[in-house]
A and B are shown apart, each in its own frame.
Chain A
Amino acid sequence: MVDPRAPACPVASLDLPGNAATGMVAAAYFRARLSMRAAPDAAGRLGEPLGLRLDGRTNTAEISASGGTCALRLGPDEWLLLSRTEPPDALAARIAATAGGTPHALVDVSHRHAGLELAGPAVEAVLASGCPLPLGIAAFPPGRATRTLLAKAEILLWRLAADRFHIDVARSLAPYTVGVLREAIGVEVAIAELRSGQ
């Protein structure tokens, strides 16, 4: 038998880059990713059993009071529900139990993406090597989450703290994305060494 609680991590086999003075890339695991779609005015009701209000603006994150569940609002009618511990079917069942006739869609996409966490003093510069969005703390504060591009890969970019970002990327694009981050970290390290040597 295959242990259903132990799926292969798509970044497990990858050599993750990192430099303490610049940025470190680590795997970030979510047990459940649920894509939830519903009319904006119906979302609050669907989020209730998870302790989520789901009334934040598009491209923002909401974390439940218990901290167990996060909702990233990625479009006007789209939320990505995340849990590090709860399995996706249990999460879906909790929502479905109180949804009643509220039209909505819940699709398990737990395995669709790979999670990466990028942390360090130069995270903005590392990401700015391939992400065209303004990433300064004012323009992209903690709690902001959006789909965008990193070089040629679509990513989900979520700022956790001033020096910490979560990146969700389609599973098959994880090696490419890690490669882009490795290159960017290498560049930042080399330029920092050049400057300090001058």
Chain B
Amino acid sequence: MTVGRVKVAALDDVPMNGNKAFKINGRSILLCKSDAGVFALENRCSHMFAELEGGRVRGAYLFCPKHSVRFDMRTGASGGTLTKVPLQTFAVTVAADGNIEIDWPE
């Protein structure tokens, strides 16, 4: 397992106001891009464990494609009443070479 800063994808691999999942250290990580920035979150909804890839992105928020639970991509916090469990988030750096890197915890 790689810890510390991990390269995930090129910035252009992630659509604007969209997202794409990547396998990192055996886990599915969702990169999201919007006018609010680039974000990395675990690709599993804390409500019914659906994959979040394909969910709509609006500003700083990601919506689960299954049951529309809203997550704040900055903090992972959920909105509404379906789940109170936040998503794990990863600190993101967009490197000078245009790659998206995330901080993988030890």
Q: State whether these chains interact.
A: no
A-contacting residues of B (Cβ < 8 Å)?
none
B-contacting residues of A (Cβ < 8 Å)?
none
